[in-house]
Chain A
Amino acid sequence: MPIQYYLFLSFALFCIGIMGALMRRNAIIIFMCIELMLNAVNLLLVAFSKMYNDASSQIFVFFIMVVAAAEVAVGLAVIVMMYRRVHSVDINILNRLKH
Chain B
Amino acid sequence: MIQFVYLVPLFPLLGFLINGFGWRTIPKSLGGIIGSASVLASFVVSLLIFFEVKNGANATVTLFDFIQTGKLSIPLAFRVDSLSSVFLLIITGIGFLIHVYSTSYMHEDEGMVKYFAYLNLFVFSMLLLVLGANYLVMYMGWEGVGLCSYLLIGFWYKNNDFASAGRKAFVMNRIGDLGFLVGMLLILFNFGTLTYTDFFGQLNNGLEPVRNSVYNWIAICLFIGAVGKSAQIPLFTWLPDAMAGPTPVSALIHAATMVTAGVYMIARSSLLYNLAPDALQIVGWIGAATAFMAATIAIKQYDIKKVLAYSTVSQLGFMFMALGMGAYTTAVFHVMTHAFFKALLFLGSGSVIHAMSGEQDIRKMGGLGKHMRTTQITFLIGCLAIAGIPFFSGFFSKDEILASTFAQNKMIYAIGIISAMMTAFYMFRLYTLTFTGKFRGTHEQEHHLHESPAAITIPLVLLAVLSIIGGYIGLPAVITEHHTLAHFLSSSVTNGLTAHLSHQTEWMLIGISSFIAIAFSIYGYMANRQPNFVPNSGLAKVLENKWYVDELYDALVVRPINELSALLDRFVERMGIDGFVNGVGKSVRWGSDRMRLLQTGQVGFYIFILVLGMTVLFALGFFWIG
Tell whether any CB of A sits under 8 Å from a CB of B in the complex: yes
In the complex, A21→B602 CA distance in Å? 13
Q: What distance in Å separates the Cβ of A82 from its nearest Cβ neighbour in chain B?
A: 11
Binds B, one of A44-52, A58-66, A72-80, A89-97: A89-97
Contact A97 B607 (CB under 8 A): no
**Option from A18, A30, A92, A99 in Cβ contact (under 8 Å) with B602:** A92
Contact B611 A22 (CB under 8 A): yes
Residue from B601, B603, B608, B611 whose CB has the most chain A CB atoms within 10 Å: B603
Contact A92 B604 (CB under 8 A): yes
Interface residues in A2-39 (C-beta closer than 8 Å to B): 18, 21-22, 25, 30
Contacts of A85 in B (CB 8 A): none
Contact B611 A98 (CB under 8 A): no
In the complex, A18→B608 CA distance in Å? 9
In the complex, A21→B609 CA distance in Å? 12
Q: What distance in Å separates the Cβ of A19 from its nearest Cβ neighbour in chain B?
A: 9
Contact B603 A98 (CB under 8 A): no
Per-residue CB contact flags for chain B residues 119-145 toward chain A (1 = under 8 Å, else 0) read: 000000000000000000000000000
Contacts of A21 in B (CB 8 A): 607, 611
Contact B611 A91 (CB under 8 A): no
Contact B602 A95 (CB under 8 A): yes
Please name the residue on chain B nearest to A25 by beta carbon.
Answer: B604
Contact A91 B600 (CB under 8 A): no
Interface residues in B589-626 (C-beta closer than 8 Å to A): 599-604, 607-608, 611
Instruction: Report the count of interface residues on B (CB-CB < 8 A).
Output: 9
Please name the residue on chain B nearest to A21 by beta carbon.
Answer: B607
In the complex, A97→B601 CA distance in Å? 5
Contact B599 A98 (CB under 8 A): yes
**Option from B599, B608, B611 in Cβ contact (under 8 Å) with A97:** B599
Contacts of A25 in B (CB 8 A): 604
Contacts of A30 in B (CB 8 A): 607
Please name the residue on chain A nearest to B599 by beta carbon.
Answer: A98
Per-residue CB contact flags for chain B residues 134-160 toward chain A (1 = under 8 Å, else 0) read: 000000000000000000000000000
In the complex, A96→B602 CA distance in Å? 8
**Option from B599, B601, B608 in Cβ contact (under 8 Å) with A22:** B608
Given contacts A18-B611, A22-B611, contact A99 B601 (CB under 8 A): yes
Interface residue SS majority, chain A: helix
Please name the residue on chain A nearest to B607 by beta carbon.
Answer: A21
In the complex, A30→B602 CA distance in Å? 14
Please name the residue on chain B nearest to A15 by beta carbon.
Answer: B611
Interface residues in B278-332 (C-beta closer than 8 Å to A): none
In the complex, A92→B601 CA distance in Å? 8
Contact A98 B600 (CB under 8 A): yes
Please name the residue on chain A nearest to B614 by beta carbon.
Answer: A18
Instruction: Report the count of interface residues on A (CB-CB < 8 A).
Output: 13
Contacts of A95 in B (CB 8 A): 600-602
Contacts of B607 in A (CB 8 A): 21-22, 30
Contacts of B601 in A (CB 8 A): 94-99
Residue from B604, B608, B611 whose CB has the most chain A CB atoms within 10 Å: B604
In the complex, A21→B614 CA distance in Å? 14
Contact A22 B604 (CB under 8 A): yes
Contacts of B599 in A (CB 8 A): 97-98
In the complex, A97→B18 CA distance in Å? 64
Per-residue CB contact flags for chain B residues 62-94 toward chain A (1 = under 8 Å, else 0) read: 000000000000000000000000000000000
Q: What distance in Å separates the Cβ of A40 from its nearest Cβ neighbour in chain B?
A: 14
In the complex, A95→B602 CA distance in Å? 5
In the complex, A13→B600 CA distance in Å? 29
Q: What distance in Å separates the Cβ of B363 from its nearest Cβ neighbour in chain A?
A: 79
In the complex, A95→B599 CA distance in Å? 10
Contacts of B608 in A (CB 8 A): 22
Q: What distance in Å separates the Cβ of A88 from its nearest Cβ neighbour in chain B?
A: 13
In the complex, A97→B604 CA distance in Å? 12
In the complex, A18→B601 CA distance in Å? 19
In the complex, A10→B602 CA distance in Å? 28
Please name the residue on chain A nearest to B597 by beta carbon.
Answer: A98
Please name the residue on chain B nearest to A94 by beta carbon.
Answer: B603
In the complex, A25→B602 CA distance in Å? 10
Q: What distance in Å separates the Cβ of B162 from its nearest Cβ neighbour in chain A?
A: 60
In the complex, A98→B604 CA distance in Å? 13
Please name the residue on chain A nearest to B603 by beta carbon.
Answer: A91
In the complex, A18→B611 CA distance in Å? 8
Q: What distance in Å separates the Cβ of A15 from its nearest Cβ neighbour in chain B?
A: 9
Contacts of A97 in B (CB 8 A): 599, 601, 603
Q: What distance in Å separates the Cβ of B209 from its nearest Cβ neighbour in chain A?
A: 79
In the complex, A10→B344 CA distance in Å? 104
Contacts of B603 in A (CB 8 A): 91-92, 94, 97
Q: What distance in Å separates the Cβ of A32 from its nearest Cβ neighbour in chain B?
A: 14
In the complex, A98→B601 CA distance in Å? 4
Q: What distance in Å separates the Cβ of B127 from its nearest Cβ neighbour in chain A?
A: 72
In the complex, A21→B604 CA distance in Å? 8
In the complex, A95→B603 CA distance in Å? 7
Contacts of B602 in A (CB 8 A): 91-92, 95
In the complex, A90→B600 CA distance in Å? 15
Q: What distance in Å separates the Cβ of B367 from its nearest Cβ neighbour in chain A?
A: 88
In the complex, A91→B599 CA distance in Å? 15
In the complex, A22→B599 CA distance in Å? 17
Interface residues in B165-210 (C-beta closer than 8 Å to A): none
Contacts of A92 in B (CB 8 A): 602-604
In the complex, A98→B608 CA distance in Å? 16
In the complex, A67→B607 CA distance in Å? 21
Q: What distance in Å separates the Cβ of A69 from its nearest Cβ neighbour in chain B?
A: 23
Q: What distance in Å separates the Cβ of A17 from its nearest Cβ neighbour in chain B?
A: 11
Per-residue CB contact flags for chain B residues 239-282 toward chain A (1 = under 8 Å, else 0) read: 00000000000000000000000000000000000000000000
Contacts of B600 in A (CB 8 A): 95, 98
Please name the residue on chain A nearest to B611 by beta carbon.
Answer: A18
A residues whose Cβ falls under 8 Å from a Cβ of B: 18, 21-22, 25, 30, 91-92, 94-99
Instruction: List 11 extra interface pairs beyond A21-B611, A92-B603, A95-B600, CB under 8 A.
Output: A22-B604, A22-B608, A22-B611, A30-B607, A91-B603, A91-B604, A92-B602, A94-B601, A95-B601, A95-B602, A96-B601
Q: Can you sample 21 A-B contacts with CB below 8 Å?
A: A18-B611, A21-B607, A21-B611, A22-B604, A22-B607, A22-B608, A22-B611, A25-B604, A30-B607, A91-B602, A91-B604, A92-B603, A92-B604, A94-B603, A95-B600, A95-B602, A97-B599, A97-B603, A98-B599, A98-B601, A99-B601
Ranked nearest first, the 8 interchain pairs of A and B with the lowest CB-CB distance are A98-B601, A95-B601, A97-B601, A91-B603, A21-B607, A18-B611, A95-B602, A22-B608
